[in-house]
Structure 1
């Protein structure tokens, strides 16, 4: 039987960002240098496939440091960053620490610390409970950072001194939504200080702009990513708000409900910053079983960002 035609618009950039590549490389390099096990506090990035792959290679994922036995095994902190109390606790136990925090998250940490040192009250725009938010708030004493999530919260915010105020943001937010929150803060508190360069990272921005480029042309947007991935969930929202009301988050091909995927002519596919390209290809291949597929890549811009591994891994010699 002849399969119906389907055009897949493949958004680019998509998938792994430089921070995610660096974090995964840190775990794999540590395994190559020191052998298994390598301990990782929390998911190194928010993707079950990536975590399962590293687990199969010898990584052991833990929720807290007290699950790690004493000894000289490496412990890696995830790409989302950790509160200062975590490396302090690791140092107290003489654990061999490897910090996989994305350098762009570290930038936000340093901004918050600088503002605090200058006596400013800090407003963090982000999602309550997200590991990155917990890590950023944990750089400073309790009460030094105020978390807000929405324009409504910005409008209701009461501060100690409107003249001594600064804001930072989570790196994986919706560019458009965050812009509205910042505008509300700036209107209410004209003296508020922001980052020298916006905190939402290049990869988040690029992936959202790429979705905007294809959204008006498609009937369905599939975002490959994990339910706990902030940047992936924001891509779904961007699709919904920019011409594709039917935007879905899927982890892999097995999650597709084919009873609801009939009669399509043009769809879009993108992937969150922690989703490997292998899963995108898996989903495209699944569509080939149901449609005569033509893939068109729509490239918004090229990315050539890379981050160095920690000095401990760059300088270490592989075992002979």
Structure 2
């Protein structure tokens, strides 16, 4: 049988961001320099393929420090950031730790501390339970930060002093959703202090913009990424709002539900910031088994931002 034709448009940029790339490098270089095991608190990034690959090299993933036996094995904190209590606990246990927190998440932590020290009440726009939100809220004493998830939350929020208020945001949110919440806060509290520079990271913004441009032109969109990955889930939502109802999140090629792609002639493919290009190639190959494909790229290409490694690993 002749395979049906399918035009695939690859969104650019897509996949790994500088923070994810740095976090993975930190684990790999720690394994190279110190040997296995290297303990990692929480999944280093939200991608099972990446985590499994590091586990095969000797990384041991734990959720809490008390799961780590006494010894001198390094401990790595994930890219999402941790509450202040975690490094304090590690020091109390005489652990050698490496912080793989994305510098853009660290920027939000610094900003929250600055606002707190200047006497402001802080609003954090984000998703309850996400590890980045837990890490950011854990930078300050309980009650110093109020989490707001929706415009309804923003309308209902009552600060102690509207004149001493600031907001920060999770770095992996929908740009449009966040903008709507910020609009409510600024309307209700004109004196609210804004971030010096937008907290939503460049990679999240760039990937969402690329999807917005491709979505109206294709019959379906595949977002390669994990369901735990906030920025990947947001890409699906952005694609649907931009006009592509058949936008689906796919973790690996073997998880594709082919019934969702019956009759399509055009397909967009992107990847969340924690999904490696290998998985994008795997998905393209899976479509090539069933369709006569042609592939083109759309967008600005690769990003050039690079973050420094921790001092302890720069000589490795």
Q: Identify the TM-score tier after normalising by the shorter chain.
A: over 0.9
Please name the residue that 1:203 is paired with.
203
Deviations 1:207-234 (CA, angstroms, capped at 9, x unpaired): 0000001001011111000001000000
Please name the residue that 2:21 is paired with.
21
Pairing of 1:88-237 with structure 2 (within 5 A):
88-237=88-237
For residues 241 and 300 of structure 1, what CA distance do their matches in structure 2 show? 21
Report if the CA contact (8 A) 2:124-2:168 is conserved: yes
Q: How far apart are 1:259 and its partner, in Å?
A: 3.1
Report if the CA contact (8 A) 2:246-2:260 is conserved: no
Deviations 1:282-318 (CA, angstroms, capped at 9, x unpaired): 0000001111000010023541000011011114xx5
For residues 241 and 30 of structure 2, what CA distance do their matches in structure 1 show? 42
Q: How far apart are 1:261 and its partner, in Å?
A: 2.0
Query: Tell me, which stretches of 5 or more residues in structure 1 are unaligned?
Result: none
Pairing of 1:76-87 with structure 2 (within 5 A):
76-87=76-87
Please name the residue that 1:266 is paired with.
266
Q: TM-score, normalised by structure 1?
A: 0.98
RMSD of aligned Cα (Å): 0.8
DSSP-derived class of the 1:205 partner: helix
Please name the residue that 1:31 is paired with.
31
1:8 matches 2:8: yes
Please name the residue that 1:286 is paired with.
286
For residues 95 and 175 of structure 2, what CA distance do their matches in structure 1 show? 38
Matched pairs, number: 316
Report if the CA contact (8 A) 1:210-1:299 is conserved: yes
Report if the CA contact (8 A) 2:220-2:261 is conserved: no
1:67 matches 2:67: yes
For residues 302 and 196 of structure 2, what CA distance do their matches in structure 1 show? 24
DSSP-derived class of the 1:289 partner: helix
Deviations 1:1-46 (CA, angstroms, capped at 9, x unpaired): 2111100110000000000000000000000001100000000000
For residues 165 and 261 of structure 1, what CA distance do their matches in structure 2 show? 48
Deviations 1:40-65 (CA, angstroms, capped at 9, x unpaired): 00000000000000000000000100
For residues 259 and 13 of structure 1, what CA distance do their matches in structure 2 show? 28
Please name the residue that 2:277 is paired with.
277
DSSP-derived class of the 1:9 partner: strand
Q: How far apart are 1:262 and its partner, in Å?
A: 2.2
Report if the CA contact (8 A) 1:213-1:300 is conserved: no
Report if the CA contact (8 A) 1:7-1:265 is conserved: yes
DSSP-derived class of the 2:76 partner: strand
DSSP-derived class of the 2:227 partner: coil
For residues 300 and 176 of structure 1, what CA distance do their matches in structure 2 show? 20
